[in-house]
Structure 1
């Protein structure tokens, strides 16, 4: 069984926990901003804590039993866990109260802020430095997370001021591409394509398995939810100007007072 140093355990777990906690805070603020009663906002937040925390515990138990071990003659349970949890999160986002909270005013910025904690992805570089992960995986995974974490507060700030423009879209698209790239490389290396040393085996065990199966799906769900919010906002934005134009063209615009 793989046993990283204690400080790596702490750093590896701290990032995912912080992202999940901030996502819960974002949901609560969104529910209040959407006009839901405080009781319902607390209910949504509590449900999110149960879902996030419950899966953290469940996937830790699974990893501890070695069920995520990737072999060519076995079902790739790590991939099944990632896809299954992501699908669950996206399905839960369609629950009416949750959907209302996700589309509250200012929610796009709230969905971006949890990504700030992706700077904790520096642990990938530390694993590589200790010779526990191959550079082919650790470098894109670590540097991609660090870049996303640094950019997140600036994108969120621009969203709050209404000046983000396409930057917010590209930020979320990049966040998804970064995760997909890391997962693809990790999967290929897990099946020995190519066969390099050190192996990618630690991502199938604690504590890295929690990052892969719990943190990665949550980050993608946040990215996708933010893109949906931005798309909806862009569709509704032209409504006011078009109405003003219709009034002007019909001659219904008020005359200036002299």
Structure 2
């Protein structure tokens, strides 16, 4: 029950905090409070619907079928990641993300990753192997704490490395998950395997939480790159 609760809290809290960040950034982007609220509610509702849909798919073993030709867990994760990036190009969210005073807000949802302790609990219960649970759990917890510190004291250099290490943490976790049992031909001989990540409740993490976190990291790095590029552009000379 503890793992169920932590997974559900993380799956709901991550998009909810992202929606709040959009709402709080709306006025800085020139949006009215009503329109800001509309953007936030729509974003939260759409991602919430995906969380429910993914839970239904996992409950019907769509992600845990050894005979499936298509790796639906990977398709769901990649599709959610691409959808999040495309949604960020919609005019209203794009204006909010580009506003100068929203620099720290994309880091807010990553604070939820302190709940990565659930991997350690699942390991202690014999559900996940230590080779996966320790790097994934400790890495997420570290990024969650770093997100809180970054939100309190932001600067571009820290933000860059935070997003780089945050993405690296996700890549390592996904790679170990695939090698430990989620792929068709597991490479790591671990017991138990990581197959539990394709079942409820853990399946919600790779299909809903990880894609959103990865998209936020990518969007933040892109924004930092644009800000750095604009800051280094030469100032045109003014003829007397």
1:230 aligns with 2:221: no
Distance in 2 of aligned mates of 1:84 and 1:73: 18
* Structure 1 match to 2:149: 154
Kindly provide the CA deviation profile for residues 156-185 of structure 1, in whole angstroms up to 9, marking residues without a partner as x.
2222xxxx2322111101111111111111
| Number of aligned residues | 237
Kindly provide the CA deviation profile for residues 9-59 of structure 1, in whole angstroms up to 9, marking residues without a partner as x.
111211232111110011111222101122221221121012110100000
Distance in 1 of aligned mates of 2:69 and 2:172: 23
Which of the residues 187, 191, 205 maps onto 2:178?
Answer: 187
1:94 aligns with 2:89: yes
State the 1:246 CA deviation.
Answer: 4.1
The TM-score with structure 2 as length reference comes to 0.93
Which of the residues 30, 35, 45 maps onto 1:40?
Answer: 35
Query: Quick check: 2:156–2:224 contact (8 Å CA) kept in 1?
Result: no
Distance in 2 of aligned mates of 1:73 and 1:65: 13
The TM-score with structure 1 as length reference comes to 0.87
Kindly provide the CA deviation profile for residues 178-207 of structure 1, in whole angstroms up to 9, marking residues without a partner as x.
111111111122232123211212111111
Distance in 2 of aligned mates of 1:186 and 1:72: 19
1:53 aligns with 2:48: yes
Which of the residues 107, 110, 127 maps onto 2:122?
Answer: 127
The unaligned stretches of length 5 or more in structure 1 are 1-5, 253-258
* Structure 1 match to 2:204: 210
Partner-residue secondary structure (3-state), 2:2: helix
Distance in 1 of aligned mates of 2:12 and 2:45: 13
Change (3 A) 1:90 1:165: closer
Which structure would you say has the larger Rg?
Answer: 1
Query: Quick check: 1:23–1:111 contact (8 Å CA) kept in 2?
Result: yes
Distance in 1 of aligned mates of 2:231 and 2:170: 31
* Structure 1 match to 2:64: 69
Distance in 2 of aligned mates of 1:218 and 1:106: 21
Query: Quick check: 1:13–1:211 contact (8 Å CA) kept in 2?
Result: no
Partner-residue secondary structure (3-state), 1:74: coil
1:22 aligns with 2:17: yes
State the 1:73 CA deviation.
Answer: 5.4
1:199 aligns with 2:190: no
* Structure 2 match to 1:165: 156
Q: CA RMSD in A?
A: 1.7
